[in-house]
Structures are given as C-alpha cells and as structure tokens.
Amino acid sequence: MIPYNKPYLTGNEINYIKQVIESGKISGNGPFTKLCQRFFEDKYNFGKCLLTSSGTDALEMAAILLNIKDGDEIIMPSYTFVSTANAFVLRGAKIIFVDSRHDHPGIDEEAIEPLITHRTKAIVVVHYAGIACNMERILEIASNFNISIVEDAAHSIDSYYKTKPLGGMGHLAAFSFHETKNIISGEGGMLVINDKRYEERAEIIWEKGTNRASFWRGEVDKYGWMDVGSSFLPSEITAAFLLAQLEKIDSIQRKRKDIWIKYFNSLLPLQNKGLIKLPVVPSWAKGNGHLFYIVCKTYHERSQLIKYLKDNQIYAVFHYFSLHASPFYAAKHDGRKLKRSEIYSECLVRLPLYFELENFQITYISDCIIRFYENYSTKQVN
C-alpha cells in the first residue's frame, strides 16, 4: 500500500537526541530550543519565536495573548482543522465562520468585512496546503477595523506571499511540526510573535505564567507567578529532533515541490477535459509542496475514486469537515450557508505526498486516477 504520508528522517535526529541525553539538560528552553528558534528568526526574519509542544498549543497561546474573553468574536474559515477554532472557544469566544474562495479552500477575503462587529477581536487565516491567502487585502481590512491577525501557518513553512514568508505577516502565527507536516518533530509547534507588544507576556505564558525565562537570563533575581500560563514549551529532545530536520529544509522543500509539480503536470489532461479541478495557486502565492489535492465533482465520485485507489494499493484521503456544520458547532453557528466550504469537505481528495515518494509511484498514482476517470465518465454518460 502506498501511504498518504510517511515521516522522513534525515538521519541526524538520533545524534542530536543523544547529545541532549548526555548533556543532562533535557527539559525545555535549552540550547536546541534556542537554535531552532533562532533558525526561524534569522532565515525568515520573523519576530520572536517560541517552540511549543504542538501547533494546537501555539494557537492556544495566541488566544491567551490576545486576551480573548466570553462573547468575543473570532473570524476564521470553516474549512480548517478543529484546533484553529478550539483555541479560541476555550477562552469563551464565538466563532464566526467564513466560506472558502471560489477557486481555493482558503478564506474568501471579500466575505470578511460584512461579518465584523464591535465584538470582533481577531481574524484567523489558514494558508491551506501552504498556499497564501490574500494577505494584503486581509491586513488592510484588519487595520481599518483595528483587529488582530493570527496566521494558522501549520501547513505553511517556507511558503510565501509575494516575497514575504508566511507566518511573518500576522501579529501572531502558529506553525506545526506534527509528523504529517513538511518539517516534523513527532508532535511540535511554534508561536511567532511579530508584534513586539506581545513579546514579554508570551514568554511568561509559555513558562507556566512565571518569569522564569528572564530569571535564567539573569534579568531578575527571583522568579514568580506573573500571569496565567501553562506548560507550552517542548523538551530539548523534541527540539533536537526538530533541529536535525531544519538543517535539511532546503532539500526537503525541493523534493516536495518537485512531487507537487509532477502530479500537477500528469493530471492536467483530466482538468483540461473538465473532469477534475487541480489546485489553483494565485499569482501572489509561492507554495511549499505541503499537500496535493484534486477536487471531484460529487461526493459519490470522490468515494468511488478513494475506493478505486485503495483497491490499487494507494491510500488517498479526504480532508476537513466544515467546522460550522460539525456536531459540536452546528447549533452554535448562525445559520449562514457556507457552500464552497461544504463542497471542499465533500469533494476534495489528498494524494500521497512525502519525501520518499518515487517518480514511478507518482506516475502509477496518476495513471490510476486517469484510468478511473476513463470508466467513471463513460458510466456517467451512458
């Protein structure tokens, strides 16, 4: 069976983990954590970076930092992972879900402004598949209404809006290093603080609500309880794993983008015949090969395709269920139809994409899809 994901190991993870164990500094905020954080601050010119135990944690930190309270409203796409919303729901916020773009699962930027009220505290954008949202337009709206922007950049490492790296444009941004992402540490994540006003408090929230980080730097002579917080920082073992991955980021990204282009080219004839839709990359976006998807015409067609691929030893998967229609949120949603989000929930298929996927496998998978449509479309006509 060709899996849809296979975690890639650079080989150096084990050496760095060994170094951590031998050093005796195993808890968080040690040398490996600092090297990882500095990697992002230097390479992408991000504001302050703090490693977290997951992307979910980074989003939860963002919600605490923004002082989200009961009754605050947060605008975000419905087509996203539950953590994007949960982080704010945990603080008592009401989520105002927005539909996807007509040509992309990302947030429809023109649908945002009419939803803004005096309660709106933040807009959370998700750069789905590592393809940038229309950031200039969204930043303009946010600044007109004095609202914060959080980038859920879980898919978006080393991806760009024009020349600007994703994760560097919002007031805050969350990355994930879960084993299904491009750069991994098993579980893992990072909060980026681009707005300096949040820097000091972010470090306190990260260290259980204490000023222990400034204590270690010798800035204060004792540390105490300063604010709410939690244990958001990962151990040095996780950071060591991550550093080994980051050192290979250029070759990892090159390979993934190469796979993405091969899929695109070999499936283009199906799009030209009007049978499927391939990902649309807007002129402002430079992607990172995070995931490759196709959009079928109906839910039935997608189920048949996934089954056909499985019968041919290929594991392809659907992706998010629209959150506005989820068992947890449907009754809390304000009733607006979000049609495009539901279409992506019902019709989008992710194809296998991982570092070790070989050219002959990409050809095999593409040929299988082409063969499926030779039969499926004739069946539909007859």
Q: In what order do the strands lie in the sheet with 172-176?
A: 48-52, 189-193, 172-176, 148-152, 120-126, 73-77, 94-98
The answer to whether residue 56 forms part of the interface with ligand PLP (CB under 6 A) is yes
User: Distance (Å, rounded) from C-alpha 373 to C-alpha 362?
Assistant: 17
Of the pair 83, 253, the CB lying nearest ligand PLP is at: 83
Binding residues with ligand PLP: total (CB under 6 A):
14
User: Distance (Å, rounded) from C-alpha 201 to C-alpha 64?
Assistant: 10
Q: How far is the CB of 175 from ligand PLP (least distance, A)?
A: 8
Site for ligand PLP in 185-244 (CB under 6 A): 189
Question: Per CB under 6 A, which region of 80-88, 114-122, 292-300, 343-351 contacts ligand PLP?
Answer: 80-88
Type of residue found at 216: W
Q: Are the CB atoms for 75 and 123 separated by under 8 Å?
A: yes
Of the pair 242, 314, the CB lying nearest ligand PLP is at: 242
Which stretches of the chain are DSSP H helices? Answer: 13-23, 31-43, 55-65, 82-89, 135-145, 199-206, 212-216, 236-246, 249-272, 299-311, 339-347, 359-381
Q: How do beta strands 160-161 and 164-165 pair?
A: antiparallel
Of the pair 276, 349, the CB lying nearest ligand PLP is at: 349
The answer to whether residue 253 forms part of the interface with ligand PLP (CB under 6 A) is no
Find the binder of ligand PLP among 98, 107, 126, 237 (CB under 6 A): 126
Of the pair 216, 328, the CB lying nearest ligand PLP is at: 328
The answer to whether residue 55 forms part of the interface with ligand PLP (CB under 6 A) is yes
The answer to whether residue 255 forms part of the interface with ligand PLP (CB under 6 A) is no
Question: Per CB under 6 A, which region of 53-61, 105-113, 143-151, 216-224 contacts ligand PLP?
Answer: 53-61
Of the pair 128, 373, the CB lying nearest ligand PLP is at: 128
Find the binder of ligand PLP among 63, 154, 239, 348 (CB under 6 A): 154
Q: Are the CB atoms for 177 and 188 separated by under 8 Å?
A: yes
Q: How do beta strands 172-176 and 148-152 pair?
A: parallel
The interface mask with ligand PLP, positions 306-345, x = CB under 6 A, is ----------------------------------------
Of the pair 276, 353, the CB lying nearest ligand PLP is at: 353
Which of 33, 90, 50 is CA-nearest to residue 246?
Answer: 33
Find the binder of ligand PLP among 152, 236, 342, 346 (CB under 6 A): 152
Residues 6+ positions from 308 with CB-CB distance below 8 Å:
368, 372
Of the pair 68, 154, the CB lying nearest ligand PLP is at: 154
Which stretches of 44-191 are DSSP H helices? Answer: 55-65, 82-89, 135-145
Cα 50 to the center of its chain, rounded Å: 17
Q: How far is the CB of 167 from ligand PLP (least distance, A)?
A: 12
The answer to whether residue 54 forms part of the interface with ligand PLP (CB under 6 A) is yes
Find the binder of ligand PLP among 178, 297, 319, 336 (CB under 6 A): 178
First to last CA, the chain: 32
The answer to whether residue 83 forms part of the interface with ligand PLP (CB under 6 A) is yes
Question: Could you identify the residue written with the tokens 């402004």?
Answer: 113
| Alpha-carbon distances, residue 313 vs 12, 66, 307, 357 (angstroms) | 31, 46, 10, 14
Find the binder of ligand PLP among 4, 40, 79, 81 (CB under 6 A): 81
The answer to whether residue 182 forms part of the interface with ligand PLP (CB under 6 A) is no
Q: How far is the CB of 149 from ligand PLP (least distance, A)?
A: 15
Find the binder of ligand PLP among 101, 121, 155, 256 (CB under 6 A): 155
Residue of closest CB approach to ligand PLP: 55
Q: Are the CB atoms for 226 and 204 separated by under 8 Å?
A: yes
Find the binder of ligand PLP among 29, 80, 148, 185 (CB under 6 A): 80
**83: number of Cβ within 10 Å:** 19
Binding site for ligand PLP (CB under 6 A): 54-56, 80-81, 83-84, 126, 152, 154-155, 176, 178, 189
